[in-house]
């Protein structure tokens, strides 16, 4: 099987996206993100913080699309619907910000979380990711599900864990795939199938 190659740029971009959500309280004290937030949505409730969220998540979500599109074509076409719903609801989450459309925002955030959980369960059942990939997705599912039970900064922390798992899954899979071992080519910076 020829899996997509992953460049160092995409790995760095995934790290930046994860780091961004975890740094939001610090960025709020610096005036970049909104102060007093207890969720990712509240912290990014201004144009520049929302824009930074969109930019930082663009490459990681594109990586998700590239890798999972290949997997879905190879294994199970039905998961394509859950992937598209997940990506569309994530886009709606960024468009319908909490400070401008609070009711719509709540709906799209719930839809985004549910789509992530459903898509992740499809991946676990039909694509059969690596053991580490299943762990990452399971942690992400639990983190998103826990949002029904937590509030305050715990809510933000569970969102960050869920988002981190969402972004981290594909790089983990590319490294830990049970079907194909990978190695980093020092000259090109790409991960090659061996």
**Phi, psi values for residue 190, rounded to 5°:** -105, 150
Structure confidence at residue 74 as a pLDDT band (50, 70, 90)? low
CA 75/CA 128 separation, integer angstroms = 9
User: 151-180: buried (b, 16+ CB within 10 Å) or exposed (e) per residue?
Assistant: eeeebbebbbbbbbbbbbbbbbbbbbbeee
CA 27/CA 41 separation, integer angstroms = 14
CA distances from 69 to 8, 11, 16, 72 (A): 20, 18, 23, 5
**Which DSSP symbol is given to 7?**
B
pLDDT in tens, 120-150: 787 777 777 888 888 998 899 899 889 889 9
Is residue 110 within 8 A of residue 86, CB to CB? The reply is no
Mean pLDDT of the chain: 82
pLDDT in tens, 82-127: 888 888 999 999 999 999 899 999 899 889 888 888 887 877 777 7
């Amino acid at each position: 099987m020829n899996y997509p190659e992953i460049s160092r740029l995409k790995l760095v971009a995934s790290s930046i996206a994860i780091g961004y959500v975890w740094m939001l309280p610090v960025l709020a004290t610096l005036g970049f993100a909104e102060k007093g937030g207890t969720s990712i949505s509240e912290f990014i409730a201004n144009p520049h913080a929302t824009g930074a969220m969109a930019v930082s998540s663009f490459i990681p979500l594109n990586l998700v699309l590239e890798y999972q599109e290949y997997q879905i074509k190879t294994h199970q076409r039905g998961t394509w619907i859950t992937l598209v719903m997940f990506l569309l609801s994530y886009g709606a989450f960024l468009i319908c910000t909490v400070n401008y459309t609070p009711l719509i925002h709540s709906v799209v955030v719930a839809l985004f979380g549910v789509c992530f959980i459903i898509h992740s369960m499809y991946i676990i059942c039909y694509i059969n990711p690596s053991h580490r990939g299943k762990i990452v997705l399971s942690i992400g599912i639990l983190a998103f599900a826990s949002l029904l039970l937590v509030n305050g900064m715990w809510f933000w922390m569970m969102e960050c864990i869920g988002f981190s798992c969402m972004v981290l899954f594909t790089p983990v899979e590319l490294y830990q795939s049970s079907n194909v071992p990978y190695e980093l080519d020092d000259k090109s910076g790409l991960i090659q199938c061996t």
